[in-house]
């Protein structure tokens, strides 16, 4: 009987996550391909449809390539600074720069809007200073807005991946090259960069993948003239009700993202490791000379400006009321107020269809809690299955990583096409929203739990079993003390990802039960200072939730006690 229960448990580790992925990830994507194939077979695919699909594809590659190059231009020098120097405030700066990675796109868009938009602080200051009646800086609906927002989001990827690899290199190899007469530049070119090449390629592909599938940034900051595949799918499906064209665009994007994801996974498996065991912090040193000090100070200031300026502008705008003084050539005066936060609980127009933002916050909280439970359950089972290694584990590993590189909008469209009948109906089964969120969070949870699980020596479990401990007690007293902190990190990841998910939610959320990101998008899309202020207030609240999540992650990962 014990043997049968053991076999049943091992089977559950594989079957339950596998069935979850097959039903809620593979099947919707196959339905998208199937709809496109049916359209092809029925002669519905025309040259005009292909032309409309190729046009956004070209711009999608173009903006993703430019955004990736811009991110590398800032990220690589920052990675060198973090990988080679120790300086005051380094850990806090690393935490600050990590915040944008889990920040919802609507919050980042609202931040840049508050800083550089028509009613942003920079334009208001220039209008007051120069006596202008129109904002002098046109930021929204430009390619520059897209590139800046992508750099804001993805610099932390270069910093974490390349900076971590740089910090882990054996400095004795570089010292040997210098002792043999190589100049600093030749050492960098012929020794350091070849060792870092796998990490750089891996980070570059990951940044490109996120830029390629970007949705909220393009929709909110780029405008209609800069439609990518993701935005075009959204427009064709929800605005034009042209599901065949949306399916064709989704299939094209899916092929591209899956190809990039598979290349990334292949490079990730080959990423170089330190050439010799090293202590934590070994090889780091204080900057010497004015050049090194200037480099460290300049990169720190640039990173702080990149992150703090839009987020600080957002928080300040949420508590500021703007008043135009006609007696002074249209000067705009500001005053502090909490009215926008109070308005979140008031239906000012008395509309029957109005959903208070406080209700949207409760919806987001409910979805986030369900997402956390689902992600930890299936992610924990999958982590145990992957810890056993083998051919099946490699297949499962690839399958678990694919949602990370799959368009959230494509996934949402797949849900519309697949789950359109009771009991799994998009409109009558609200749990489809946290299920979609769980697919996005699952790779992060598995990647968090797996290293901790593999660090447990099998001899500990065997010793506990020999001493008479039941399997349940072995798990509680051997596995859980090691997995507990990793599980908390995974839970924070899943919770914050769900709170900010926007792409799939726009397809799946019932209009009567919007989430905070959807509500922010609605208020930003409506005219009026009050709507704008409410959007800033909601975005600030969401920012605080994500900031708390980053602080928790850093505390757990540093192993600090409360």
Residue 451 lies in a domain: yes
Residue 485 lies in a domain: yes
> In the prediction, which pLDDT does 66 show?
94
Residue 477 is part of a domain; what is its CATH number? 1.10.3720.10
Look at 46-50, 207-211, 301-305, 407-411 and tell me which has the smallest mean pLDDT. Answer: 46-50
Number of separate domains in the chain? 1
Could you tell me the two tokens for 470?
A: 């039941």
Residue 373: pLDDT band (50, 70, 90) is: very high
Distance CA 170, CA 180 (A): 17
Residue 382 lies in a domain: yes
How far is the CA of 145 from the CAs of 63, 497, 527, in angstroms? 11, 23, 21
Mean pLDDT across 507-512:
77
Residue 447 lies in a domain: yes
Mean pLDDT across 519-532:
78
Residue 151: pLDDT band (50, 70, 90) is: very high
Distance CA 562, CA 559 (A): 10
Distance CA 413, CA 531 (A): 29
- Helices 480-500, 357-387: inter-axial angle, 10-degree rounding: 140
Percent of the residues in the chain that have a pLDDT greater than 70, as a whole number? 82
Mean pLDDT across 63-76:
92
Mean pLDDT across 199-224:
83
Residue 81 lies in a domain: no
Q: Over the stretch 393-404, which tens digit does the pLDDT of each residue have?
A: 667 777 777 777
> In the prediction, which pLDDT does 273 show?
46
- What residues make up the domain containing 22? 1-45+348-562
pLDDT at 442 over 80: yes
Residue 327 lies in a domain: no
Residue 545 lies in a domain: yes
> In the prediction, which pLDDT does 2 show?
47
Alpha helix positions (H), 318-457: 339-342, 357-387, 391-401, 408-418, 432-454
Residue 74: pLDDT band (50, 70, 90) is: very high
Q: What angle do CA 53, 56, 59 make, to 5 degrees?
A: 145
Residue 276 lies in a domain: no
Look at 216-225, 304-313, 347-356 and tell me which has the smallest mean pLDDT. Answer: 347-356
> In the prediction, which pLDDT does 345 show?
74
Of residues 89 and 68, more confidently modeled:
68
Strand partners, 85: 285
pLDDT at 506 over 60: yes
pLDDT at 67 over 90: yes
Distance CA 463, CA 547 (A): 42
Q: Over the stretch 239-263, which tens digit does the pLDDT of each residue have?
A: 776 777 777 777 777 778 777 777 7
Residue 371: pLDDT band (50, 70, 90) is: very high
Q: Judge whether 338 and 533 are in contact, CB under 8 Å.
A: no
């Amino acid at each position: 009987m014990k043997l049968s229960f053991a076999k049943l448990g091992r089977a559950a580790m594989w079957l339950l996550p596998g069935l979850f992925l097959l039903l809620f990830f593979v099947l919707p994507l196959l339905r998208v391909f199937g709809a496109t194939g049916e359209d092809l077979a029925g002669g519905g695919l025309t040259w005009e449809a292909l032309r409309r699909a190729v046009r956004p594809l070209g711009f999608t590659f173009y903006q993703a390539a430019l955004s990736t190059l811009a991110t590398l231009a800032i990220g690589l020098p920052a990675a060198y600074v973090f990988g080679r120097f120790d300086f005051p405030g380094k850990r806090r700066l690393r935490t600050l720069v990590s915040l944008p990675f889990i920040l919802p796109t609507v919050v980042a868009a609202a931040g840049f809007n508050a800083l550089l938009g028509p009613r942003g602080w920079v334009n208001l200051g220039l209008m007051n200073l120069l006596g202008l009646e129109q904002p002098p800086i046109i930021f929204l609906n430009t390619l520059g807005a897209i590139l800046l927002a992508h750099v804001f989001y993805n610099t932390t990827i270069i910093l974490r991946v390349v900076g971590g690899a740089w910090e882990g290199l054996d400095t004795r190899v570089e010292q040997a090259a210098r002792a043999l007469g190589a100049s600093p530049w030749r050492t960098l070119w012929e020794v350091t960069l070849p060792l870092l090449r796998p990490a750089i390629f891996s980070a570059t592909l990951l940044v490109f993948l996120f830029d390629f599938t970007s949705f909220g940034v393009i929709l909110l900051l780029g405008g209609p003239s800069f439609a990518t595949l993701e935005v075009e799918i959204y427009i064709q499906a929800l605005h034009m009700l042209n599901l065949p064209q949306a399916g064709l665009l989704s299939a094209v994007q899916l092929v591209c993202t899956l190809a990039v994801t598979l290349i990334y996974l292949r490079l990730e498996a080959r990423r170089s490791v330190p050439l010799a065991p090293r202590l934590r912090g070994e090889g780091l040193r204080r900057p010497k000379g004015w050049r090194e000090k200037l480099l460290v100070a300049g990169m720190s200031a640039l990173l702080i400006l990149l992150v703090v300026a839009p987020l600080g502008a957002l928080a300040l705008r949420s508590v500021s009321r703007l008043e135009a003084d006609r007696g002074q050539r249209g000067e705009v005066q500001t005053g502090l107020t909490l009215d926008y936060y109070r308005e979140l609980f008031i239906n000012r127009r008395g509309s029957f269809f109005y959903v208070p933002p406080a209700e949207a916050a409760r919806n987001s909280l409910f979805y986030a809690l369900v997402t956390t439970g689902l992600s930890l359950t299936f992610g924990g089972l999958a982590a145990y299955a992957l810890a056993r290694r083998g051919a099946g584990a490699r297949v499962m590993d690839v399958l678990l990583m694919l949602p990370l590189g799959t368009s959230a909008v494509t996934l949402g469209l797949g849900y519309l096409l697949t789950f359109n009948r009771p009991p799994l109906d998009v409109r009558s089964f609200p749990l489809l929203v946290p299920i979609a969120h769980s697919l996005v969070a699952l790779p992060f949870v598995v990647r968090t739990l797996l290293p901790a699980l593999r660090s447990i020596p099998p001899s500990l479990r065997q010793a506990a079993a020999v001493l008479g401990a039941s399997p349940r007690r072995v798990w509680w007293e051997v596995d859980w003390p090691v997995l507990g902190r990793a599980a908390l990190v995974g839970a924070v990841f899943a919770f914050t990802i769900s709170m900010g998910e926007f792409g799939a939610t726009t397809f799946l959320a019932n209009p009567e039960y919007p989430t905070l990101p959807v509500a922010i998008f609605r208020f930003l899309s409506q005219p009026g200072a009050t709507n704008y202020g409410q959007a800033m207030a909601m975005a600030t609240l969401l920012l605080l939730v994500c900031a708390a999540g980053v602080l928790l992650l850093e505390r757990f990962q540093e192993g600090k006690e409360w």
